[in-house]
Amino acid sequence: MNRALIDKLADAVLFEGYILYPYRPSVKNRQRWTFGSLFPQEYVGEASSNRTQCLIQGGPTTAVEAVVRFLHLTNRQVVRFDPPLTDWDEAAAGTPVESIRIDGRLFQSWQEAVVREVAIAPCELQSLGCESLRTFAFAGSRAFEPLRSEAGLIPAAFVREQQPVVGSIALSASPLRDRVFRLTVDVQNRCSDREPTNRDWALLRSLNSAHVLLGAQAGQFTSSTDPPEELRDLAGECRNVGLWPVLVGGEAEANLMLGAPIILPDYPRLAAESPGDLFDGTEIDEILSLRILTLTDEEKAQVAATDERARQLLERTTSLEAERLFDLHGMMR
């Protein structure tokens, strides 16, 4: 699989909605992770699985590989110590707070995210008559980061906690016509330890922004959006749940497919004019960049305190030259 070609596009999908303008803990950012999340099965009302189904043309020895990617959330909690600690002690009792200022710098509680990947190695279509299943698990963790003042005291700390996530990815293929197969990828959240208490509890145990990458060797995927006439009936019988398969790469190629949780056309492209990730994909770069430039110093400090990705976004946007901003205004293609 040509990962250099597909990864940048897949990352844009992965971080769609990661942090929304105004890029700080506002009401708008209380409800993040709105695209493609697979929740624990016990969390009623939300999906716990998705399915990508498409046609592939090839022979019995055509090989297919699949990768599921998602965000594993980390809860970052600010804990205040009163009085401040003189030496770091992980066992010290502190008070959870939303935020704290230390020597004028703001530190904020937040939900961070780590990218996870699970792959099924290339399998020949003739071997996929029976389902190829891989289960996976990522362990929970707990880590501390003392926050020191200029005087050397420790008035607070970050406590980062990850809950374990468990899931599976199943890949199967069935022959339909001569050199035409139906390929199916099922992804399932298999977390099941106790009854969920609320959405935040469930999100920490979810496969967030989950999507699927597919690659073919010596074979070609068929467009699900605009299939050729002779395959239109078979393509119409494919059932996709939570994801939609789109062709990726050059328009003369058909060996890469992205199962995306948002609506995309075949052969989607990232605008070359974009200076970098803005995460809030429902807006356009020019509007967001101009809005960021109007933030007050206090608002910018709040953005920088959310997490490293937000800080980099802020620095990149505030350093844009006028010519780069003009490039965002419009482009005829």
Structure-model confidence comparison of residues 157 and 324, the more confident one: 157
Residue 178 has pLDDT above 60, yes or no: yes
Q: Which helix (H) or strand (E) holds 201?
A: helix 199-203
Phi then psi for residue 327, to 5 deg, are -60, -25
**pLDDT tens-place string over residues 75-123:** 999 999 999 999 999 999 899 999 999 999 999 999 999 999 999 989 8
Q: Tokens standing for 129?
A: 């008559």
Q: What does DSSP assign to residue 268?
A: -
Pick the range with the lowest mean pLDDT from 26-40, 137-151, 170-184.
26-40
Residue 228 has pLDDT above 80, yes or no: yes
* C-alpha to C-alpha distance for 157 and 146, rounded to whole angstroms: 4
Residue 172 near residue 123, CB atoms below 8 Å: no
Cα separation values, 20 from 23, 33, 156, Å: 5, 10, 27
Question: Which residues face 154 on adjacent strands?
Answer: 85
pTM: 0.88
Structure-model confidence comparison of residues 307 and 242, the more confident one: 242
* C-alpha to C-alpha distance for 246 and 329, rounded to whole angstroms: 28
Residue-level pLDDT at 27: 63
Cα separation values, 161 from 143, 164, 230, 264, Å: 7, 10, 52, 34
Give me the mean pLDDT over the 278-299 stretch. Answer: 69
